[in-house]
């Protein structure tokens, strides 16, 4: 079952924030806020935001690991400390 999603114009979202908040919390809907006909922001359950943040962290780690794997010009930590006078 997919997540329910509702698009709402900004002016309507502003006047119905309490109702939209309740829908997000109780029905686990995702509310997309539109302005000038374009999707600009969203109100989502905290669990969805946390899942997105975990995914971003995983992608960041994967990108860092890939960058390290490509690099042959590593400088030993002891040399970096010495060069910096630490």
Instruction: Please say whether the beta carbons of 57 and 50 come within 8 A.
Output: no
Residue 26 inside a domain? The answer is yes
Identify the CATH number of the domain in which residue 24 sits. Answer: 3.40.1620.10
Residue 52 inside a domain? The answer is yes
Q: Check residue 5 and give its pLDDT.
A: 87
User: In sequence order, what are the residues at sequence separation of 6 or more whose Cβ sits closer than 8 angstroms to the Cβ of residue 35?
Assistant: 9, 10
Residue 48 inside a domain? The answer is yes
User: In sequence order, what are the residues at sequence separation of 6 or more whose Cβ sits closer than 8 angstroms to the Cβ of residue 7?
Assistant: 31, 32, 33, 34, 39
**What domain range includes position 63?**
5-70
Q: Check residue 27 and give its pLDDT.
A: 94
Q: How many domains does the chain have?
A: 1
Residue 31 inside a domain? The answer is yes
Q: Check residue 73 and give its pLDDT.
A: 77
Residue 81 inside a domain? The answer is no
The tens-digit pLDDT sequence of the chain (86 residues) is 557 889 999 999 999 999 999 999 999 999 999 999 999 999 999 999 999 999 999 999 999 988 888 877 778 899 999 999 99
Q: Check residue 2 and give its pLDDT.
A: 57
Residue 46 inside a domain? The answer is yes
For the question of whether the overall pTM of this predicted structure is more than 0.75, the answer is no
């Amino acid at each position: 079952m997919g997540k329910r999603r509702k698009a709402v114009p900004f002016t309507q979202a502003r006047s119905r924030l309490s109702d939209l908040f309740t829908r997000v919390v109780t029905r686990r809907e995702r509310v997309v806020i539109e302005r000038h006909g374009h999707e600009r922001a969203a109100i989502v359950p905290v669990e969805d935001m946390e899942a997105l943040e975990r995914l971003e962290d995983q992608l960041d780690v994967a990108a860092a690991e890939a960058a390290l794997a490509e690099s042959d010009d590593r400088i030993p930590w002891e040399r970096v400390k010495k060069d910096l006078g630490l």
